[in-house]
Structure 1
Amino acid sequence: MNEEEVSPPSTEEVFLREHGPAVSVPLDSETGRALAAAGILRSATPDPVRAGHWLLRAGSSVGAVRIAGGAVLRITPKTSVSRLFFLLGFSLDPARAWRDSREGTIDTGGYDDIVPALAHAVERQIDAALRQGVLQGYRTVEESALFVRGRIREADQVRRHFGRTPPVEITFDAYTADTAENRILRAAVERLLRLPGVAAPVRRRLAHQRVRLADVLPLVRGHALPRWQPSRLNSRYQPALRLAEAVLRGTSPEHRPAGVAPLAIDGFLLDMNKLFEDFVTVGLREALREHGLTARLQDPHHLDTAGRVGMRPDLVVRSGDGRAPVAVVDAKYKVEKADGLLNADLYQALAYATVLGLDEAHLVYAAGRQPVRVHEVHGAGIRLFQHSLDLSRPPEGLLSVLEGIARQLAGAPRNP
């Protein structure tokens, strides 16, 4: 066994650390291959030293999942759980988090593990949402009935019953608790009740919330999450809905994008790459509004004139009318190297600036040796900025850094 390999204390619980050393775990070949294909780990390979074992190395996904045989795989983040949930809360609801940048924008109940903290947070949000009663609304219903209610669906009536009545194919608007909002909340509760590591008191409260939502139909497995629109009527639901959707996207294989490898896992995983990118871009977008600028996330462009090579900068800052590019930003969940250089990132930033006709481009890293580094591109007149956003800083400090970067972006030289 090499010095990077560490045996877990138990075959029932496997502990990995985000981007940490490999752990040798007893796994059958089928489960090992499924883990390798699922993309939730940095690597999963057969252990060359120990037969029947696989070397598992975590990447940027953190959380806990239950894999084949009942074993629980826990991946702890490098960032504290309270700070991680601040980033998540800000990304989901920046307006609220910007007003209250103190620790605890999402109440994690003092838990220092992701899954228990998540379950506590969601249950508290749902409890607050339902405090004034279960929200009801109108939903279009299509069904066969023995009497006419609403409108007859004439085409379905002829096709299915050849003009005979009853039954009658009808459609009507029902005032019901079975709305998209309540379906999402119920689905999140049921998913959390199945997660490993949820504390008993939280599990009991989640079961109580499920009873309150008993009149709501469960989501159909394999279907996309129902859509809801923010409104004055569902304003008290919105914090819970945003967090519930994050739960469902991080736990349910049936709600993940097509192409993800089928693996029988039950758990919750957060992609720190995506979380950092969302925090940086959403934070800069909000801060830039104070300067009269707009921002587009994942703005599509092409590197070549033929339009064959696509590129999507994380954030393109534009003038107030949204027409002229002002600056470009890419977020990198990386730590700056000892020499301060990440050449591939600099080449990418240079390509963005060149295509957009800008004199500078900006990279934001999760940590670095200096707050800002500047590189002047030889013969191009383009400057590349590398910013450091240390996630160990308190929330106020993180937002202050983003505001400083936004001021710099607003003052960037404009092409005539």
Structure 2
Amino acid sequence: MTFITIREYGCLTTAPVPVPTLDRAQVTPSAFDWLCRFGEQEKDVATLRTRQTLQWKSFVGVLRTPCGLELEILPKTYSEVDDAAACRAHLVRMLSKVLDVTCRETGEADISLLALPLTEWVARQFLRHAHVLVRRGLRFDYQRVEEEEPYLRGQLDVRRQIGQLPHRRHLFHIRYDVFSADRPENRLLRSALDVVVANVRAPENWRLAASLRPLLSAVPPSQNIRADFARWQQDRLMADYAAVRPWCELVLGKYMPRGIADHQRGISLLFSMHELFERYVAQALRNRLMPGARMEIQASGRALCSQEGRAAFILRPDMVIRYGQEAWVLDTKWKRLGQGSGEDGISVQDVHQLYAYGWQWLGGRGDVVLVYPWHAHFPHQPPFLFRPPLSLPNAPALRLLVASFDLSTDSLSCHNTAGDWCPWLHTA
């Protein structure tokens, strides 16, 4: 097993790399060919730059190739300290919040996991939650069994017994119920445990996995993972299973492109950093809304055009926040905003997009906000005022604000802005 760690927009090459870094690493020709085919299948994941160089795009996570390469892709955090452990720590925090999962992290042993690939952290969380569940007791269910036996048990199937052939009348068609742990949730736990056992390296993970294997040995692994997830019950009797389900999904490849998820033999997960940042910011801000403030994520219901009575070019801002009689539109962008003043680094397409949001959602009055990840050299720019349309020279002012979001503190900032620009947010 070979482990390689890069970060967003890093390059993988078959050419020799004397000193591998997070931005460039060498892979075997077989792994390179498989990754190229994967990049052709999933256009947004990677791009072939030269015959020997493949550049990764803005996807993060873990990917395993059939030849045994485990590739870990970490986010660019844009902070002063940008080593693998720091990048991995940011990714762990973001995944925990976005997936709405409970992380059982205490002590130096958990911190040391950040020096290992992301798969070890995922495995640790799954094993700990599964261990708690097994200690509380697995959920059993009655399974109907129909057999032909030389003894009576349960109910006699009279209809089938009447039709029994003469030379088999010494056998009885019987039906009975067995109180069994063979149910979809437990089968998925067993399958996830099998994957973890085959792939973990950390000693503590090995110990936890070894202690769980005998307790789940009577449960068969899942033969159809998607079908069993669809049959996973979420009523109050299954409340103890709620915490472990997200980790089962991570281990069993729910967050992989469908075309390769069924062929993975290890823990593999890929996330778009654009979507991950958007959902992380939304979740962090939602937890700090003032009483009475409401947030709508991926708001819909507005369109730029109509065609034959039907809406066309639907507008979906990342967040629409309403507080009192006012509203704000926020749109996240996972990119490093350049240094300097004025419009440096801000995409014209993004400004056009926010302008459309401002008129469709705010009626051309109020604030629309572009949210970028914070870094030490973030250009704190004053607000931009949109010029009114020629047909409405006296239209109220629509402002474009440029805000930064600090991934270390989950704080939203917009400097060079007079007054309280976000009264809907708890600042403490």
TM-score under structure 2 length normalisation: 0.68
Deviates further, 110-119 or 74-83:
74-83
Residues 1:300 and 2:300 are matched in the alignment = yes
Aligned length: 363
2:112 aligned residue = 110
In the alignment, residue 333 of structure 1 is paired with which amino acid? W
Q: Give the alignment partner of residue 67 of structure 2, picking from 56, 66, 69.
A: 69
Q: Give the alignment partner of residue 386 of structure 1, picking from 402, 410, 423.
A: 402
1:341 aligned residue = 346
3-state SS of the aligned residue for 2:333?
A: strand
Q: 1:22 to 1:33 in 2, by over 3 A?
A: closer
Pairwise CA distance, 1:64 = 3.4
2:286 aligned residue = 285
Long gaps (5+) in structure 1: 1-10, 49-53
2:98 aligned residue = 91
Q: 1:332 to 1:183 in 2, by over 3 A?
A: farther
Residues 1:223 and 2:226 are matched in the alignment = yes
In the alignment, residue 342 of structure 1 is paired with which amino acid? S
Q: 1:171 to 1:316 in 2, by over 3 A?
A: farther
C-alpha distance in structure 2 between counterparts of 1:345 and 1:211, whole Å: 55
3-state SS of the aligned residue for 1:219?
A: coil
Is the contact made by 1:109 and 1:117 (CA closer than 8 Å) also made in structure 2?
no
Pairwise CA distance, 1:184 = 3.7
Q: 1:346 to 1:20 in 2, by over 3 A?
A: same
TM-score under structure 1 length normalisation: 0.70
Residues 1:123 and 2:132 are matched in the alignment = no
C-alpha distance in structure 2 between counterparts of 1:41 and 1:230, whole Å: 34
C-alpha distance in structure 2 between counterparts of 1:261 and 1:233, whole Å: 30
Pairwise CA distance, 1:379 = 1.0
1:326 aligned residue = 327
C-alpha distance in structure 1 between counterparts of 2:280 and 2:385, whole Å: 28
Residues 217-271 of structure 1 show CA distances to partners (whole Å, capped at 9, x for unaligned) of 42234624235465554444433223332333456x5xx54x6698667442342
Q: 1:386 to 1:233 in 2, by over 3 A?
A: farther
1:375 aligned residue = 384
Is the contact made by 2:274 and 2:334 (CA closer than 8 Å) also made in structure 1?
yes
Deviates further, 120-129 or 310-319:
310-319
C-alpha distance in structure 2 between counterparts of 1:287 and 1:365, whole Å: 18
Is the contact made by 1:16 and 1:76 (CA closer than 8 Å) also made in structure 2?
yes
Residues 131-170 of structure 1 show CA distances to partners (whole Å, capped at 9, x for unaligned) of 3222x1557x5765669989x9xxxx9xxx9x979969x9
Structure showing greater Rg: 2
Superposed counterparts of 1:14-413, under 5 Å: 14-24=4-14, 25-28=27-30, 31-39=34-42, 42-45=45-48, 47-48=50-51, 54-79=52-77, 80=86, 81-93=88-100, 108-111=110-113, 112=115, 113-134=117-138, 136=139, 138=141, 144=146, 176-195=180-199, 198-221=201-224, 223-224=226-227, 225-226=229-230, 228=232, 232-249=236-253, 256-257=257-258, 266-271=266-271, 272-288=273-289, 290-301=290-301, 302-305=303-306, 306-318=310-322, 326-338=327-339, 339-358=344-363, 359-368=366-375, 369-370=378-379, 374-379=383-388, 381-391=397-407, 393=408, 397-398=409-410, 400-401=411-412, 408-409=421-422, 411=424
Is the contact made by 2:322 and 2:328 (CA closer than 8 Å) also made in structure 1?
yes
3-state SS of the aligned residue for 2:305?
A: coil
3-state SS of the aligned residue for 1:275?
A: helix
C-alpha distance in structure 2 between counterparts of 1:361 and 1:144, whole Å: 65
C-alpha distance in structure 2 between counterparts of 1:383 and 1:171, whole Å: 71
In the alignment, residue 400 of structure 2 is paired with which amino acid? L
Is the contact made by 2:63 and 2:72 (CA closer than 8 Å) also made in structure 1?
yes
Pairwise CA distance, 1:372 = 6.6
Long gaps (5+) in structure 2: 15-26, 78-85, 165-171, 390-396
Is the contact made by 1:186 and 1:216 (CA closer than 8 Å) also made in structure 2?
yes
Is the contact made by 1:41 and 1:58 (CA closer than 8 Å) also made in structure 2?
no
